Structure 1
Amino acid sequence: MTDRFDPGALRQWWPKPSKPRPIVIFGAGSIVGDAHLPAYRKAGFPVAGLYDPDHAKALQLAETWGTRAYSSEDEALATTDAIFDLATPPAAHAAILAKLPTGAAALIQKPMGSDLEAATAILEICRTRQLKAAVNFQLRFAPMMLALQDAIAKGHLGEVVDFDAWLALATPWGLWPFLKGLPRIEIAMHSIHYLDLVRGLLGNPRGVHAKTIGHPNHEVAQTRTAAILDYGDRVRCVLSVNHDHDFGRKFQACEFRISGTLGAAYVKLGVNLDYPRGEPDELWFRPAGGNDWVSVPLEGAWFPDAFVNRMANLQRFATGEDQELIGSVEDAWQTMALVEAAYQSSAAPATAIAPLPRQ
């Protein structure tokens, strides 16, 4: 028997650290100005400064946000008692992590390296240097997802038996010129968020069937993915992702449907619709014992509020206020293993269909 469903009582925010440490950001790309810095300002987290090899770009961003642009990497690394925020390309992560002070706390931009081999190297660096390191799979920390996890934990859906992700939208790939020429795009850079979220809700799947392909209208390697995660005979988990549904907003979608034995949930991920302006997120429940769908008033959005909650957990873990580091490198490596398996599945031949017998 579950408690009465109260949408206003669902958890949407991570507790703030009592004494936040200064944040040192590596990287001055668009994600820093669009999400990291707005989130930290909103939360009141102190930003000591940022470093980027392109000092002019770092200086311009620092001036916009009233912080400091370090003149060298060594200067950034020397910041005392810092939380290091690596908003850097996957290929740059390992070299920076290897220079962090032993025992430092670090947040690593997803993905955790370019592939599983790189993720394993990052994991070993973090273990050797005893880093308190997490990967920025921040979708788990979006207000709507914290509320979803809370509702599931309270039994409002019963046993989760179905997870559907459906994306049919138009993603402006031209905003990220660095993606051109990379061999792995859609799963490694986008759907990785959804795979990590599913792992957070359902645990590790037994395996995955996947196919990821490109599109004639784009030069990036992949923009469309279909995947089935194998959770045995009780749970069905399917992702259908199409970034090339560029025919107007009317029938576009970016949504999850989560069904249980007693209730169901619907999530709209608004930021991906009309990106980067986005639309409001939505969260609805048909809870156990209910006879209609109920909307949850959301107190924030995936961008930038998930970045607030993600950093809050790392800050609190670094100071001992949280006992568990959600999305640690140990956990994130398993998301990377799932991504690797999806690409291997995509490259493997499908089960052949028997030919028509000859007459």
Structure 2
Amino acid sequence: MSFAPDPQVRCRDFAIGCIGAGMIMAECHLAAYAEAGFNVAAIASRTRSKAQAVADRWNIATVHDTPEQLIADPAVEIVDIAYPPDLQPALIRKALAAPNVKAVLAQKPLALSLDEAKALRDEAAAAGKILSVNQNMRYDQSMRVLKQIIDAGDIGEIVFAQIDMHAIPHWQGFLEGYDRLTLSNMSVHHLDALRFLFGDPEEITSLTRPDPRTGFAHTDGIVVSTLRFPSGAVAVSLEDVWSGPRAEGYEDDQHIGWRVEGTEGVAKGTIGWPTGAPSTLSYASQKATAGKWVTPQWQTMWFPHAFIGVMEQLQHAVKTGTPPALSVADNVRTMALVEAAYQSIEERRTVRLSEINID
């Protein structure tokens, strides 16, 4: 079978204005956009000097003093936001109101609450503009190829799946002011990927304990979630943000692995973060590989190459007038799953997704 680990770039037509100059923008968004040949017209951040340094690095012609000035720039057609989630909704609303802006790409989590996310979804629809959310793990190469294998029926009906993370995130400073940590900012990758692969689950059961290394107060540190899908398939999402002690001479074994078992075969692999290597996939199928293990190869990585697909799907949606692959309406459903997980932790029970109002 021929696989497509990376999407085709179908559109480079629109001028992008980038808000934010931190690691995710400087090392991921802009690296990907440069490789894809996207047109980044302007940048702004909370600190002009930081925005200027990033602009100099990536040859961005215009640096604005404030995000609001960038949004009002008539040359900017797509606003790409990499900002703290408590500040992001206000910028999204300004962008939706700007006549020059055709679409907005927001970071996850879209907002600090499900109600705010639903409000942004509805306001974007009322404005007649596209709001997309950067769920970039859907563009990880192993996730894309896995989805192609599943859709082809090569591993049959899904029985069990897991995403197994033992890695230490770099928690951004602004997270210290929130009462939610891992589920909103790390598990959201995995829960969204499970939705991408298998559709919406019926129920989720989550538990947590504090991470001994994280130096600020948090309600959710290490998180384990079990999901059940309408088909009967079950999945486990594990975010072990402790992953063991760290000291001089201690051998680091941070990793993220995944496994999907079906009635006709098994697929398994790794995610390249935090090792800085390409993600991997191997699969054995009674139907497609005569039961032998096959390992497709690619050279691209989750970071930064997945961000090409994220921006490309938005530009394509603007050009064609079709819904984006990463729509805000779909992201609200991921936000609802995160909300159900928090409710499960708080109430110490399984929560059905039908209990969470997304209207």
Compute the TM-score of the two structures, normalised by the length of structure 1.
0.88
Matching residue of 1:332: 331
Note if contact 1:144-1:298 (Cα within 8 Å) is conserved in structure 2.
Answer: no
1:76 and 2:55 correspond = no
| Cα displacement (A) at 1:181 | 3.4
Alignment of 1:107-146 (within 5 A): 107-146=105-144
Closer, same or farther in 2 for the Cα pair 1:140/1:89, shift >3 Å? same
SS in 2 for 1:110: coil
Which amino acid in 2 is paired with 1:109? Q
1:284 to 282, 285, 298: 282
Counterpart in 2 of 1:197?
Answer: 193
Gaps of 5+ in 2: 351-359
CA shift for structure 1 position 81: 5.7
Alignment of 1:87-98 (within 5 A): 87-98=82-93
Corresponding residue SS for 2:273: helix
Q: What is the correspondence of 1:142-161 to structure 2 with a 5 Å cutoff? A: 142-161=140-159
Q: Deviations over 1:181-228 (max 9, x none)?
A: 321110100110111111111111112111123223322413200101
The amino acid of 1:88's aligned partner reads Y
Query: Could you tell me how far 1:349 is from its partner in structure 2?
Result: 3.1
Is the 8 Å Cα contact of residues 205 and 341 (structure 2) preserved in structure 1?
yes
CA distance in 1 between counterparts of 2:187 and 2:241 reads 11
Structure 2 vs 1, CA of residues 241 and 61 (structure 1 numbering), >3 Å: closer, same or farther? same
Name the counterpart of 1:99: 94
2: CA distance, partners of 1:257 / 1:160: 11
Does 1:265 pair with 2:267? yes
Who is 1:167 aligned against?
A: 165
Change (3 A) 1:337 1:92: same
| C-alpha deviation, 1:251, in angstroms | 5.2
Is the CA contact (8 Å cut-off) linking 2:167 and 2:254 kept in structure 1? yes
Residues 23-38 of structure 1 aligned to structure 2 (within 5 Å): 23-38=16-31
Structure 1 contact 142–309 (Cα < 8 Å) conserved:
no
1:346 matched residue in structure 2: 345
Could you tell me whether the CA contact under 8 Å between 2:227 and 2:235 is conserved in 1?
yes
Equivalent residue number for residue 355 of structure 2 = none
Work out the CA distance in 1 between the residues paired with 2:45 and 2:76: 20
In 1: Cα distance, 2:204 partner to 2:91 partner: 32
Offset of 1:279 from its aligned partner?
Answer: 3.2
SS in 1 for 2:324: coil
Q: 2: CA distance between counterparts of 1:96 and 1:178? A: 17
State the one-letter code of the partner of 1:141.
Y
Letter in 1 for 2:41: A
Aligned-partner residue type, residue 42 of structure 2: G
Hey, what does 2:37 align to over in structure 1? 44
Partner AA of 1:125 in structure 2: E
Among the aligned pairs, what percent are the same residue? 28
Tell me the secondary structure at the aligned position of residue 237 of structure 1. Answer: strand
Structure 2 match to 1:3:
none
